[in-house]
Structure 1
């Protein structure tokens, strides 16, 4: 019976250590992994999680894109960005639609915002001007090598 208790305890620790979702961004206290600014903007923050479960948070999507230039993207399990229309809500960065509009400032001055659906992005583009991008197009614009 003692061996089963030890085995059960070991299994519990292993399951707790296997984190399959990124940790939440602590707005106002977490720092950007790329530029070290405090992450406060709930409309423009971003993060990715590695296949080993480590989470990296950024104050803006452009910081995450700039950081991706220096790492092996094959190690990344998921990319997330804040939905501009739902501040604080993280969405799949690879499925988001992006708007670069000089009328919508972002923390690092690239005027880059992410949207969870194309309709919302188009509506905001009509109101503010700018240009729409997919994830792949955005990586090309920021010279991020796609692995």
Structure 2
């Protein structure tokens, strides 16, 4: 019985990971890597931990559920971006434009928000630590 349960859990875990990878558009991921610009791109649930995205143009990008832990997003344009459920723990957002960004459920624990533009950003009170 244990092997059946373990097999079912493994299947769900693998299928879940495949779904997360499929959510993002591979061409747009390559565009971001090559140009540091991807306004309006679908980058949902992709791992970008420790990514160097300083001054990136991600205006209106869909980054829901993405792992941006310890990423350098200093000076990045994230205005109107969808960051709900994203992990931004320890991310450098100094000078980033987060105006009108959706940060509901985003984890901003330890994030550097020095001089970040937050006008019109939406988040649940207490999410910034």
TM-score by length of 1: 0.33
Q: Work out which structure has the larger RCO, using CA pairs closer than 8 Å and 6 or more positions apart in sequence.
A: 1
More strand by share: 1
**Larger Rg: 1 or 2?**
1
More helix by share: 1
